[in-house]
Structure 1
Amino acid sequence: MINLDGKIVEEKDAILSVRNRGFAYGDSVFETIRIISGKIMFWEDHYFRLMASMRIMRMEIPSSFSPEFLEKQIIEVIEANNLETSPARIRFAVYRLQGGYYTPATRDIGYVITAEALENSFYLFNDGNYEVELFKDHYVNSGLLSTIKSNNRAVNVLGSIFARENGYDNCLLLNEKKGVVEALNGNVFLVKGQVVKTPPISDGALNGIIRKQLVNILKKTEEYTLEETSISPFELQKADEIFITNVALGIQPISKYRKKTFENKVAKELLSKLNVKARLG
């Protein structure tokens, strides 16, 4: 079952026009949200990021789009799919209504919410082999558009194909200044000694929900120093650890980059603290 503009419908009946602007021009933004036993994880952060993304895309935000209203829309999808007591993954997509070419005929929006079951309620630690490489065929441009989750993910798609064709689990993306920005599916953190680095949003990094949680956790710890700073590719092989973060997986340690293998001690510590935050809401 799917929520299409506030109506719960069967997936086969959830029809979008071929002229839909999300399809035709990538004129759409979305949030990937994790649900635990009917409770939305980090909902406030998701809500404000969605509103910021819509503003950046110059979409008209309906007056009804309060946190309470959108939360109700999500919960209705969860209940319609009998996922009230199961972990679930939500995709909340907002698209501009059709009309016009590059210049929209309207700034009004529609939305669609889908749900699928997940295996585990909380984040599990994956310490298996996970090898990455740089994707250098195309770059992420620094700026506001790169910080939001939009349907324009061509670099991520092409990088994912490159990774699969070459036997890698993931790739790290570069911006036009040749700095490491993020992974194909999440933010990236680098550990060297007691210093934990992550690229700043101004470099073009996604304004990730789990990134924000870990930044807040690290700022409160005495063991580590957080630096939001540009990361050069040359730093990767000198790091003690590198890990990727996103809402679906939590924290994914990288085990190998080229000839360098990495530890995962800090990633494991942070995942434990992240799960505590998730339980507390």
Structure 2
Amino acid sequence: MSTIYINYNGKIVAEHDLVISAENRAFRYGDGLFETMLWKDGDIRFLNFHVQRLQEGLGMLHMEDSHRFDTFFIKSKTEELIRKNNMLGQQVRVRLIVFREGGGLYSPDTNKTAFVLQIARIPDSLRDKKIGLIIDLYTEYRKPYSDLSKLKSNNALIYVLAGLHKRKHRFDEVLLLNQEGFLCEALSSNIFIYYEKVLYTPAISEGCVAGVMRRVVMDMAADEGVEVVEAQISPEIMKQADEIFCTNAVHGVQWVMGYKQKRYFNKISRILQEKLLTWGYDEDN
């Protein structure tokens, strides 16, 4: 089996090499953020949006030198790693983890950043948008919300537990509730609900991650003349909705086929899937 390489803070090393210590703050405290991105056709889709979100989040966490994670830095480091792993010409999942360097207990010794960059081929099965998702509502624990909830944080216990539920019951995706019992997001996606000719999505204030694809889909829907409302949404709407779909940077738009006995259409999600094939390339370049 061929060796997979990663970039650990500027050094290309084998993925199986030990690169962190027990003092690593991402390991000990979840003290960092990450971006999951799609490399396609020789570029990272919507890279500007990823950079904006990452730099804003690092600023909120009082990390220094966040400016170095700009579009040139991320694209060039990703391309270097893709070449090293012989993945040119393929669709690739890119994961950039940025964490606070150095030691310390809860109070860190420094606010400087370090990073890990990983890539992985996207299996063909992940590219098939013709089959809708079967979903469930995860209710064991709820996601608390604050101004930090929108960040893609290394603190991910709620998602781990929801993932266990998803795997145990063999669902394609599960939806999370916030602390008040309203819809928040999916395990690895934002959610949209089409009901009575209006497209609804949980507001950022409801605790969902400020997804890049969420932002893109809202722009595309507006371009199609579809009204988009960010709202507080009761899970009861799932019994009445015409469509539900999930969005993230790697999968794009994934339509939901069913929840319990309820079945959904995929008219709007299909339009958005097709629109996404060409949307934003001028901005990307």
Instruction: Give me the TM-score of the superposition, normalised by structure 2.
Output: 0.92
Q: Distance in 2 between matches of 1:182 and 1:43?
A: 22
**Deviation sequence 1:72-118 (CA, Å, 0-9, x none):** 22221112112221111111011111311111111111101011112
Q: Tell me if 1:110 matches 2:108.
A: no
1:107 to 1:239, Cα distance in 2 relative to 1, 3 A: same
When the two chains are superposed, the root-mean-square deviation of aligned CA atoms in Å is 1.9
What residue is the counterpart of 1:191 in the other structure? 194
> SS state of the match for residue 82, structure 2?
helix
Q: CA deviation at 1:71?
A: 2.2
SS in 2 for 1:44: helix
Matched residues in 1 for 2:184 and 2:153: separation? 17
Structure-2 separation of matches of 1:12 and 1:118:
20
**Residue 20 in 1 paired to residue 41 in 2?**
no
2:141 match? 138
Deviation, structure 1 residue 119: 3.7
**Which position in structure 1 is the counterpart of 2:72?**
68
Count of residues in correspondence between the two structures: 279
SS in 2 for 1:146: coil
Q: SS at the partner of 1:53? A: helix
CA offsets 1:191-236 (integer angstroms, 9 cap, x no match): 11321100111111111111110111112222x2111111111111
1:172 matched residue in structure 2 = 175
Is 1:22–1:95's contact at 8 Å kept on the other side of the alignment?
yes
Q: Contact 2:221/2:228 (CA < 8 Å) preserved in 1? A: yes
- Cα 1:41/1:186, change in 2 over 3 Å: same
Alpha-carbon spacing, 1:9–1:231, altered in 2? closer, same or farther (3 Å): same
Aligned match of 1:244 = 246
Q: Which of residues 56, 75, 80 in structure 2 aligns to 1:52?
A: 56
CA distance in 1, matches of 2:235, 2:194: 14
Aligned partner of residue 101 in structure 1, secondary structure: coil
Moved more, 65-74 or 237-246: 65-74
Which one of the candidate residues 207, 211, 216 is aligned to 1:213?
Answer: 216
The amino acid that maps onto 1:127 is I
Pair 1:64–1:208, CA change in 2 (3 A): closer
Counterpart residue identity of residue 153, structure 2: S
Q: Does 1:10 align with 2:3?
A: no
Is the contact made by 1:180 and 1:230 (CA closer than 8 Å) also made in structure 2?
A: yes
Amino acid aligned to 2:56: A
8 Å Cα contact 1:190-1:243 kept in structure 2: yes
2:55–2:67 CA contact under 8 A, matched in 1: no
Structure 1 residues 113 and 271 mapped into 2: Cα distance closer, same or farther (>3 Å)? same
Distance 2:182 2:234 in 1: 5
Structure 2: runs of 5 or more not aligned: none
TM-score by length of 1: 0.93
Residues 1:181 and 1:51: Cα distance change in structure 2 (over 3 Å): same
Q: Is the 8 A contact 1:187 1:211 kept in 2?
A: yes
Q: In 2, are the aligned partners of 1:123 and 1:250 still within 8 Å (CA)?
A: no
Q: CA deviation at 1:166?
A: 2.4
Residues 171 and 64 (structure 1), Cα distance of their counterparts in 2 relative to 1, 3 Å cut: closer
Structure 1 spans left out of the alignment, 5+ residues: none
1:69 Cα deviation from its structure 2 partner: 2.3
Report the residue type matching 1:135 in the other structure.
Answer: Y
Residues 62 and 252 of structure 1, relative CA distance in 2, 3 Å threshold: closer
Check the 8 A contact 2:59/2:66 in 1, yes or no: no
1:37 partnered with 2:41: yes
Residue of structure 2 equivalent to 1:235: 237
Asked if structure 1 preserves the Cα contact closer than 8 Å seen for 2:55 and 2:66, the reply is: no
Give a deviation string over 1:122-158, Cα, whole Å, max 9, x none.
Answer: 9542324x22221112111222221111111111110
Deviation at 1:167, TM superposition (A): 3.1
In 2 relative to 1, CA 97–84 (structure 1 residues): closer, same or farther, beyond 3 Å? same
